Amino acid sequence: MRKALLIAALVALFALGVAGYQLIAPRSHVLTMPRASNGVDYALIVHVPPECRLGGCPALYVLDGLAWLPTFAKAEDDLIARHRMAPQILVGVAYANAINTGNLRKHDFTPAFGRTPNQTGGADVFLQVLRDEIIPYAEGHLPIDPNERGLAGHSYAGLFAAYTLAQAPDLFDRYLIMSPALWFDNGKIYDVALTRADRTRTVFLAADTPRGEARSDMANNTLRLNELLLADPTIRVSHALIVGETHSSMVAPAAKRGLAALYGNAP
């Protein structure tokens, strides 16, 4: 009975989409964007720490914002309170109509490597929307320092973050990549050549893995990416294996460790 009620509540929340977001994150707010050039309606779920309200803070763009912005906001608030993180404005990138999120994110976050599986391959188009529409809209409506920005993604969104790191090297300075779907299309992401950037980028990788001696495929794939990034002198990369968590439950500890690693003031 309790499980059925929980499922019903989640269905109702996703039916509301971003309009219902304040039910779970009352200290954040929503910016509704004009329809993007790819025909998709995006919304920005925003968390502005008090230290950032007068301006001067960079932004961290969190993909799958409807799902993960509350997790990142909680982690950031805790780290700031303990003086372990420099404040960032969190911008959760979400779909205004959450009912179709699964298909939309699968399309937006997956690159086109020649022939692509069904409903995938929109990463290049979404990258253009992110660069030319979403980021300028956020920077035009929020007190964001445009000279530095970060990108966070999990699963398919983690794959997109890795692809962005390779294809648009000067767009973001910091990346938090969590259990990325590097297996997509038989791991062709590993064949994408890294484009050298004009500035140093900092990357934190995390992957879920079970307890015990055997590492998960997710962990092995992420460690392979770590080795590739270590070969680029313009990238500073660190990683963590999140032991004993599932693909979804790993996000909370990974977000906290990643934020501290990317923006930390002190241990």
Domains of the chain: 2-263 (3.40.50.1820)
Contact predicate 242/211, CB 8 Å: no
With 60 as the cut, is the pLDDT of residue 115 above it?
yes
**What's the CA gap between 128 and 137, in Å, rounded?**
13
Mean pLDDT of the chain: 89
For residue 248, the one-letter residue type is S
Burial of 168 (0-12, 13-18, 19+ CB in 10 A): middle
Sheet architecture: strand order including 235-243 = 29-32, 42-47, 89-95, 57-63, 144-154, 174-178, 201-209, 235-243
With 70 as the cut, is the pLDDT of residue 19 above it?
no
Q: What is the pLDDT of residues 1-15, one digit of tens each?
A: 544 444 444 444 445
Q: What does pTM read for this prediction?
A: 0.91
User: What is the structure's pLDDT at 22?
Assistant: 53
Q: Interhelix angle for 65-81 vs 251-263, to 10°? A: 50
Number of CB atoms found within 10 A of residue 181's CB: 22
Q: In 35-117, where does DSSP find H-type helix?
A: 65-81, 101-108
